[in-house]
Structure 1
Amino acid sequence: MNTNTSSNKLALKMAIALVCGLVAGFSCIVLREQLISSGNQEIWNTINNLLFQDITAQGAENAIGIFYIVGQLFVNALQLIIVPMVFVSITLAISAITDTKKFGRISSRTIFTFLKTTIFALIWAGIVGTLVYQSGAFQSVQAEGIAIQEGTTGSNPLTIILNIIPNNLISAFTQNGNVLAIVFLAVCIGLAMNQLKDKTEILSKLFREVDKIISLCLSFIITKFAPIAIFALLTRTFAIYGIEYLLPALAYLLCVFFALFAYLLIGFPLYILIMAKVNPKPFIKKTAKVALFGFSTSSSAATLPLNKKTCVEELGVHKDIASFTLPLGMTINMDGTAIMQVIAALFVAISAGYDVTFTSMAIIAILALISSIGTPAAPGAGAVILFTILTGMGYTNDAALLAYSLILAINRPIEMLVTSLNVIGDASTSVIVAKKENMLDQDVYNS
């Protein structure tokens, strides 16, 4: 009861921070436009340097960037926990499983559920993209005036397979970008501990104590600093945008926002109702703060600690299920990213004058499926990986690069909503798998 009360208070504080951040951010946009239009660019520059400027950027040596510092410190604190939390939680979960067949069943169900929901997301994105294409809305979108970005980060999506097994143990633990390698190492060590049993009792005790330390630090960071950080992150995100970036791609923005919102509000509750066969209302209510947190940070990795805490303590998912499905989902389950990439690829193709057929849409969907699996759980990753799809489709003329540059310029608001879908998708899968394995405490879920 106390846990639910504190959780509700935290959710309320986060919701208030969200609203205040949005209001403050849009107010800053209005202020910025008024100052610039009245010839007071220098005043806005002073405000920007004081509050919003990225102090690590070139030329920002004298900036203060208060909101940037507050938000970045919070995100850094969460990212600091990611690698040890993923490694320890998965290792402990697997080492505690007495039935290896059960582990294989949980793994297959988790991956199969990820695959099903991502395919449904791609189909939904294809439907929305086709309707917008037929309406001709994208034809009026222009990317003129946006500097061309070459997008040299495109690569073969299959390289994600090579990254699963690291060639250096130390580097695997010192980089947040390759969580799949941490998952692989945790599974291997967990299975070994499972076989050795009593011979690894000291190591198991050490891991359990580290897990308790991580949980305590996590609770402190989230409960004490999350609302403040959300306000700072949201205010800064919208304050640094100008109307000149948002208006040229209004049709694209509206299309993606509609597709993402509809999938978030309708798709996941349906999965809970049909696949888990439980009432989706408690899920919607309790994961709202997870979605808000993902929206604010734009990082699935930064949201993972809160997602795990919510699934275990409020949704009744067994810790062993959550410890496996959520870190794995953070790395390979990207429903929101898949939707964004399909619609973005269609936007680029149409704006650049390429013919869009059913076959080309199917190929875009397949590339989006593969690419989304390898998307790092960090801000900006989805738009960068998008270049892989564009390269694979041959959408590389000057007009395509202009449209792609426009997407990069306005990507932040979209990326925020994409992250919400990604983290809620992970939570829904954990509930579905837990229910099928009879490891869902429905009393806790319905409380």
Structure 2
Amino acid sequence: MNLWDATALAVTFGLFAGIFALARKRVNFSVLTFIGLFLGTAVGVVFRNHVEYVQPIGRIYVNLLLTIVAPLVIVSILSSITSLGSTAQLKTIGGRSVYWLLSLNLVAIFLALGTALLVGLGKGANLATDVDTRSLDSIQKPFTDVLIGFFPTNIVKDISENNIIPIILVSILVAVSCSVIADKAPQKVAPFKALVEAVREIIYRAVGFVISLTPYAVLALTAAFTSTVSADTSQLWPLFTLLVVAFVVCFAHTYLVNGVFLRTSANVSPVAFFRKILPAQVTAFSTQSSAGTLPLTTSLLRSRVGVPSEIAGFTAPLGTTIGMPGCAGIWPILLAVYAVNALGIPYGLSDYAVLVILGLLVSIGTAGVPGTATVTATTVLAAAGLPLEVVILTLPISALADMARTTNNVTSAAVAATIVARKEGRLDDAIFDAPDADVTTLALTAPDDEPTPADAAQPDDDALWGSLPVGACAIEPSPRERVGAR
């Protein structure tokens, strides 16, 4: 065992103990997550290239998150659709969810395209085109194959591989069938609906367990990433502008564009909203996985923002595969403009219009996992007839850019869910205006349940999770939400 690697692991566990002690003292969950982020950066800098034993901790957390994604999506959609009350509500919620997710991505595409053209992204860069692109062959697929892949042939295999679109389609099929039968003979599907609700409570309890580990995982993930960042940046200077533009555009869309949509379409305070979903943003920034952040996103939407469980459980999972403005909108467009300018490729207005359409199409069925931006960029560049070598040449900065891209993806999905809830007249302003509740506590309680003394912050729970001041978990769903969710 390497001494430096062992020392890094020992220091990390010592910092874990410090975070646990702060959790015992009821330090805010967002604060704990940020503490983990900063401590992880320090560990990575001090123990550069010596975090071999720390890195698996973060990967285990990501695996745990991905493990509960499929069960969460299935139970959320089944519960959401079967509790809507009628198939008419499904049409409005489903249609509005897709509309707002794609609308946010379309704005992101135009923002990326306009910014890239304005700064002349890629001009002056000397791109080599003699790179072996065989490594991209395995991920490059024709659009027809991608479309066929949306429809499952083996749902068990899709669940094991977290293929979200097929999972969503099968879940919707079963849930809609249940709703149609319930419209005519509710007693026939009553046992099934009761089973779904019971499983939902179990899954939410499991989600709470995993979410509570976020500050520790953020520390380990940040340490591993910071430690392995190359100190030799001379070869990255030609790409530095691309990285800066990617961060600027992603964060401009995350906060400015989404803020405008929140104020004009949902009539909520953007500042308050971003504060409430901050733990999900930090987790997305660290894990670089929209799907992995999904459990935390849905919990925050229900417990802090006031989005009903049936909308949060439908729109947020959908947002991990449709829309995805960071990975499917901004990044492919930036790479395309970078390639056009760097290689001096003649490009006209019609060509850029095709890029916009491609960016919108590729956002349907995007996988919310680390590295998906490489797949979407490859698809867009191949369809646009641009050299795929650019994707490989930009891989050194892609991991850095993925932090901003994933934060944008997660935020936009949460914004879409909030807007849909407002348009449906279901956004609970009492929850939104209340002091921020501790998501690690509320995630353990199914959203439609009446909190009981056993659900309140008990000493054993506090020792395990940490929470906000006593009473934070006593936020109840509004009567309107409870009626709609039953």
TM-score bracket for the superposition, by shorter chain length: 0.7 to 0.9
Which residue is equivalent to 1:162?
Answer: 148
d(CA) in 2 for partners of 1:89 and 1:355? 48
d(CA) in 1 for partners of 2:207 and 2:35? 21
d(CA) in 1 for partners of 2:286 and 2:219? 8
Note the C-alpha offset of 1:323. Answer: 1.0
1:203 and 2:189 matched: no
Match of 1:357 among 335, 345, 348: 348
Which residue is equivalent to 2:229?
Answer: 241
d(CA) in 2 for partners of 1:7 and 1:158? 52
Which residue is equivalent to 1:427?
Answer: 414
Report matched runs for 1:219-230 at 5 Å.
219-223=208-212, 225-230=213-218
d(CA) in 2 for partners of 1:373 and 1:270? 24
Which residue is equivalent to 2:170?
Answer: 185
Is the alpha carbon distance of 1:310 and 1:232 closer, same or farther for their aligned partners in structure 2, counting shifts above 3 Å?
A: same
Note the C-alpha offset of 1:252. Answer: 0.8
Q: Is the 8 A contact 2:320 2:368 kept in 1?
A: yes
d(CA) in 2 for partners of 1:105 and 1:274? 20
Note the C-alpha offset of 1:210. Answer: 1.6
Note the C-alpha offset of 1:355. Answer: 2.1
Report matched runs for 1:274-423 at 5 Å.
274-337=264-327, 338-396=329-387, 401=389, 403-423=390-410
SS at match of 1:138: coil
Q: Which amino acid aligns with 1:205?
A: A
Is the alpha carbon distance of 1:6 and 1:102 closer, same or farther for their aligned partners in structure 2, counting shifts above 3 Å?
A: farther
TM-score by length of 2: 0.78
SS at match of 2:268: coil
SS at match of 1:278: coil
Note the C-alpha offset of 1:147. Answer: 5.4
Which residue is equivalent to 1:55?
Answer: none
Per-residue CA distance 1:175-231 (angstroms, 9 max, x = gap): 21x2111111111111222224321222222222221111111111211x2111111
Match of 2:125 among 133, 141, 156: 141
Deviates more, 1:295-304 or 1:355-364: 355-364
SS at match of 1:330: coil
Q: Which has the larger helix fraction? A: 1
Which residue is equivalent to 2:453?
Answer: none
Q: Which amino acid aligns with 1:407?
A: T
Is the alpha carbon distance of 1:6 and 1:248 closer, same or farther for their aligned partners in structure 2, counting shifts above 3 Å?
A: farther
Note the C-alpha offset of 1:359. Answer: 2.2
Which residue is equivalent to 2:206?
Answer: 217
Is the alpha carbon distance of 1:407 and 1:280 closer, same or farther for their aligned partners in structure 2, counting shifts above 3 Å?
A: same
Is the alpha carbon distance of 1:24 and 1:113 closer, same or farther for their aligned partners in structure 2, counting shifts above 3 Å?
A: same
Note the C-alpha offset of 1:393. Answer: 1.8
Note the C-alpha offset of 1:387. Answer: 1.1
Which residue is equivalent to 1:123?
Answer: 110
d(CA) in 2 for partners of 1:92 and 1:86? 10
Which residue is equivalent to 2:159?
Answer: 173
d(CA) in 1 for partners of 2:118 and 2:310? 42
d(CA) in 1 for partners of 2:411 and 2:248? 17
d(CA) in 2 for partners of 1:215 and 1:386? 35
Structure 1: gaps (5+ residues)? 33-43, 52-64
d(CA) in 2 for partners of 1:84 and 1:360? 42
d(CA) in 2 for partners of 1:124 and 1:240? 32
Q: Which runs of 4+ in 1 moved over 6 A?
A: 5-8
Q: Is the 8 A contact 1:299 1:378 kept in 2?
A: yes
Per-residue CA distance 1:375-408 (angstroms, 9 max, x = gap): 2111001112211111112222xxx61x321212
Note the C-alpha offset of 1:169. Answer: 3.0
Q: Is the 8 A contact 1:67 1:232 kept in 2?
A: yes
TM-score by length of 1: 0.85
d(CA) in 1 for partners of 2:229 and 2:125? 19
Note the C-alpha offset of 1:290. Answer: 1.0
d(CA) in 2 for partners of 1:147 and 1:165? 35
Note the C-alpha offset of 1:143. Answer: 4.5
SS at match of 1:119: helix
Q: Which amino acid aligns with 2:218?
A: I
Which residue is equivalent to 2:30?
Answer: 11
Which residue is equivalent to 1:59?
Answer: none
Q: Is the 8 A contact 1:325 1:426 kept in 2?
A: yes
Note the C-alpha offset of 1:362. Answer: 1.7
SS at match of 2:78: helix
Is the alpha carbon distance of 1:234 and 1:247 closer, same or farther for their aligned partners in structure 2, counting shifts above 3 Å?
A: farther
The alignment's C-alpha RMSD in Å is: 2.1
SS at match of 2:229: coil
Note the C-alpha offset of 1:24. Answer: 3.9
Deviates more, 1:432-441 or 1:209-218: 209-218
Structure 2: gaps (5+ residues)? 1-23, 435-486
Q: Which amino acid aligns with 1:103?
A: L
Per-residue CA distance 1:282-328 (angstroms, 9 max, x = gap): 21111111111101010011000000000001100000111110111
Is the alpha carbon distance of 1:247 and 1:231 closer, same or farther for their aligned partners in structure 2, counting shifts above 3 Å?
A: farther
Q: Which amino acid aligns with 2:193?
A: S
d(CA) in 1 for partners of 2:39 and 2:293? 20
SS at match of 2:394: helix
Which residue is equivalent to 1:232?
Answer: 220
Note the C-alpha offset of 1:146. Answer: 9.5
SS at match of 1:373: coil
Deviates more, 1:303-312 or 1:358-367: 358-367
Deviates more, 1:10-19 or 1:157-166: 157-166
Note the C-alpha offset of 1:270. Answer: 0.8
